């Protein structure tokens, strides 16, 4: 994104923040005693883009407990540990059409999806179930730390205790699931609920949750670290799209058109494909349990920017292609000389590891085009040769060994790459 576009975007965020700041409809959640104490006037918005830009306004340093915003990550941890097939034996992937803490289950007596309480409790039962309690929570906490940064996550013990003390409904849900025989064998309900309440009591601010949304947007990678595979990120994004906003999910999908997750503490984090993540926090909730200002903010935002996922549907394929400095990866790979790459692309600070819809990076295109001099320039600039395209090809395999040998020879004998590769065939 160009600097000017970015500053216009931030200006719009500012404007919407100012115009929604005075809305005081709705009520702070009160069924968990500690949540009742929240200051209803807090309000913040944070943006975290795929190219690492950040913008924050309002009380963005304020740490709140994330409540249901923990559910996507708990599901990802269960998926990472057991795979989709096993997890799907315990948790469905359908919208429930009921309240988040409803006693209704699907035809197989399983929770409808991982974003309602029953599904999230089930997901927690699948996380490192053979380990000690402290290690299980450590695993969840460490994952959050990896995503949002070591010092940006806390634990709210008072919320945890208060939720545990008043957990009549969640305990009933867990008991029904036990009665239905859908927990994995040897599940300890009490420990499972404990882990679920702990996950809900993790604390962070909108800066951190926006970064989590950006990680999901980026196929599980953040700060150059792979936290989750892009495959399972895709799964949770689908479920967030259809079930992330409680009983408002259908309307949200229609009006806003973005995967999102809401929590009763007043947070909403939203993933904007090819752009990044945005998180809002404001504790007053509407009758569906979503933050009033948060929903209003996103409703306004999509009036200014075509961020709805299906906005792009009507435009042609050309505009869908992922570009670097407005040129498609394919065009750069085929048309640019290695000198141009060196002088323009590498100096522009653009991400040279961007991939297109087929998962092909510039390196993939350049290898196919046999433009080894350009490949050399990119590798010299630390391009990621491990990236796999849609068909699973990376330069990490034999091709890359070729390149590494060539680099060695290049330095040793200063021979031209072309002459070296022509001998290879
Ligand atoms: N911990 C809360 C509960 O179990 C989470 C609910 C929510 O944020 N929707 O009720």
**Residue 329 pLDDT exceeds 90:** no
Higher-pLDDT residue of 260 and 319 is: 260
Which CATH number do you get for residue 383? 1.25.40.20
pLDDT in tens, 294-316: 999 999 999 888 899 998 654 44
Residues 155 and 275 in one domain: yes
Ligand 1 atom with the shortest distance to the CA of 264: 8
Whole-number percent of the chain with pLDDT over 90: 67
Return the pLDDT at 239: 98
- 310: in domain: no
Q: Is residue 89 part of a domain?
A: yes
Q: Which atom of ligand 1 is nearest to the CA of 170?
A: 4
What is the structure's pLDDT at 414?
A: 60
Domain C-terminal end among 271, 304, 337: 304
pLDDT for residue 397 is more than 80: no
Question: Is 213 a domain residue?
Answer: yes
Q: What pLDDT score was predicted for residue 335?
A: 83
Interval 205-255: pLDDT, tens: 999 999 999 999 999 999 989 999 999 999 999 999 999 999 999 999 999
Q: Which residue from 64, 200, 265, 288 has its CB within 8 A of the most atoms of ligand 1, so it is best to mutate?
A: 200
- pLDDT at position 349, please? 74
Both structure tokens of 236: 């949770």
Residue 263 confidence (pLDDT) above 90? yes
* 311 located within any domain: no
Cα-atom radius of gyration of the chain, to the nearest Å? 24
Residues 229 and 345 reside in one and the same domain: no
Query: What span, in angstroms and rounded, lies between the C-alpha atoms of 355 and 156?
Result: 39
Q: How confident is the model at residue 46, as a pLDDT?
A: 98
Provide the pLDDT for residue 412.
64
Q: Is 41 inside any structural domain?
A: yes
Residue 103 φ/ψ, nearest 5 degrees: -90, 10
Three-state SS annotation for the chain? CCHHHHHHHHHHHHHHHHHHCCCCCCEECCCCHHHHHCCCCCCEEEEEECCCCEEEEECCCCCEECHHHHHHHHHHHHHHHHCHHHHHCCCCCCCCCCCCCCCCCCCCCCCCCCCCHHHHHHHHHHCCCCCCHHHHHHHHHHHHHHHHCHHHCEECHHHHHHHHHCCHHHHHHHHHHHHCCCCCCCCCHHHHHHHHHHHHCEEECHHHHHHHHHHHHCCCEECCEECCCHHHHHHHHHHHHHHCCHHHHHHHHHHCCCCEEECCCCEEEEEECCCEEEEEECCEECCCCCEHHHHHHHHHHHHHCCCCHHHHHHCCHHHHCCEECCEEHHHHHHHCCHHHHHHHHCCCCCCCCCCCCCCCCHHHHHHHCCCHHHHHHHHHCCCCCCCCCCCCCCCCCHHHHHHHHHHHHHHHHCCCHHHHHHHHC
Q: Is residue 68 part of a domain?
A: yes
Taking the centre of ligand 1 as the mean of its atom positions, its distance from the CA of residue 413, in whole angstroms, is 65
Mean pLDDT in residue range 401-406: 70
One domain for residues 234 and 362: no
Q: Which range has the worst mean pLDDT, 47-51, 206-210, 421-425?
A: 421-425
State whether 136 and 256 are in the same domain: yes
What is the band of 6 on the pLDDT scale with cuts at 50, 70, 90?
Answer: very high
CATH number at residue 207: 3.40.710.10
167 & 249 share domain: yes
Mean pLDDT of the chain: 90
The mean pLDDT value for 121-125 works out to 98
148 plus 187 within the same structural domain? yes
Let me know if residue 176 belongs to a domain. yes
Average the pLDDT over 46-60 and give the result: 96
Judged against a pLDDT cut of 70, whether residue 60 lies above it is answered with yes
The reply to whether 348 and 202 lie within a common domain is no
Domain shared by 140 and 191, yes or no: yes
Q: 146-173: b or e for each residue (b if 16 or more CB lie within 10 Å)? A: bbbeeebbeebeebbebbbeebeebeeb
Which residue of 72, 117, 168, 245 sits with most ligand 1 atoms within 8 Å of its CB, as the best mutation to test the pocket? 117
Number of structural domains in the chain: 2
- The reported pLDDT for the residue numbered 398 is 57
Give the residue numbers spanning the domain of 384.
Answer: 329-422
- Cα–ligand 1 centroid distance for 263 (angstroms): 7
The alpha carbon of 153 and the centre of ligand 1 are apart by a number of angstroms equal to 19
Spell out which residues line ligand 1, taking CB within 6 angstroms.
67-68, 100-101, 117, 163, 170, 200, 263-264, 289
pLDDT of residue 339: 83
- Do both 43 and 151 map to the same domain? yes
Please report whether residue 53 resides in a domain: yes
C-alpha pair distances (Å), 332 with each of 3, 19, 381, 396:
22, 42, 16, 22
pLDDT band for position 320 (cuts 50, 70, 90): very low
Q: Residues of the chain with pLDDT > 70: what percent?
A: 89
Which range among 52-56, 117-121, 304-308, 310-314 shows the weakest confidence by mean pLDDT? 310-314
398 C-alpha to center of ligand 1: Å? 50
Q: Which residue in 225, 272, 243 sits closest to 47, CA to CA?
A: 272
- Listed ranges 91-105, 106-120, 298-312, 397-411; the one with the highest mean pLDDT: 106-120
- What confidence score (pLDDT) does residue 121 get? 98
| Average pLDDT of span 138-163 | 97
Ligand 1 centre to CA of 21 (Å) is: 25
Q: What is the pLDDT of residue 343?
A: 78
Say if residue 342 is in the same domain as residue 298: no
**Residue 70 CA, ligand 1 centroid: distance in Å:** 9
**Backbone φ/ψ region at 3: left (φ over 0), alpha (ψ -120 to 50), beta:** alpha
Average pLDDT over residues 313-332: 60
Residues 404, 266 share a domain: no
Domain's final residue, options 289, 304, 319: 304
The verdict on 168 and 299 lying in the same domain is yes
């Amino acid at each position: 994104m160009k600097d000017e576009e970015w500053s216009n975007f931030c200006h719009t965020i500012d404007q919407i923040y100012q115009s929604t700041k005075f809305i005081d409809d709705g009520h702070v959640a009160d069924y968990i005693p500690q949540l009742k104490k929240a200051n209803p006037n807090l309000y913040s918005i944070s943006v975290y883009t795929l190219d690492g830009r950040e913008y924050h306004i309002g009380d963005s340093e304020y740490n709140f407990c994330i409540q249901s915003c923990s559910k996507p990550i708990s599901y990802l941890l269960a998926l990472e540990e057991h795979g989709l097939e096993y997890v799907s034996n315990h948790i469905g992937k359908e919208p429930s059409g009921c309240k988040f803490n409803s006693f209704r289950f699907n035809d197989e007596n399983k929770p409808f999806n991982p974003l309602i309480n029953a599904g999230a409790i089930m997901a927690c039962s699948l996380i490192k179930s053979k380990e000690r309690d402290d290690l299980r929570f450590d695993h969840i906490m460490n994952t959050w730390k990896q995503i949002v940064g070591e010092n940006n996550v806390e634990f709210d013990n008072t919320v945890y205790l208060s939720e545990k003390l008043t957990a009549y409904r969640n305990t009933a849900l867990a008991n029904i699931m036990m009665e239905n025989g859908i927990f994995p064998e040897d599940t300890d309900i009490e420990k499972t609920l404990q882990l679920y309440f702990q996950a809900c009591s993790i604390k962070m601010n909108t800066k951190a949750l926006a970064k989590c949304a950006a990680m999901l947007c980026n196929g599980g990678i953040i700060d150059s670290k792979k936290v989750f595979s892009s495959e399972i990120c895709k799964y949770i994004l689908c479920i967030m799209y259809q079930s992330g906003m409680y009983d408002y999910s259908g309307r949200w999908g229609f009006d806003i058109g973005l995967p999102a997750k809401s929590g009763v503490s007043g947070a909403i984090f939203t993933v904007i494909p090819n752009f990044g993540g945005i998180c809002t926090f404001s504790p007053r909730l509407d009758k569906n349990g979503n933050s009033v200002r948060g929903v209003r903010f996103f409703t306004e935002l999509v009036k200014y920017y075509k961020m709805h996922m299906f906005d792009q549907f009507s435009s042609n394929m050309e505009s869908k292609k992922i570009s670097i400095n407005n040129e498609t990866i394919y065009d750069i790979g085929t048309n640019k000389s290695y000198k141009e790459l060196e002088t323009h692309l590498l100096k522009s600070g653009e991400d040279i590891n961007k991939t297109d819809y087929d998962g092909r990076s510039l390196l993939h295109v350049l290898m196919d085009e046999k433009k080894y001099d350009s490949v050399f320039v990119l590798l010299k600039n630390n391009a990621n040769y491990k990236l796999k395209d849609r068909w699973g090809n990376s330069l990490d395999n034999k091709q890359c060994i070729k390149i590494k040998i060539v680099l060695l020879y290049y330095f040793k004998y200063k021979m031209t790459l072309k002459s070296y590769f022509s001998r290879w065939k």
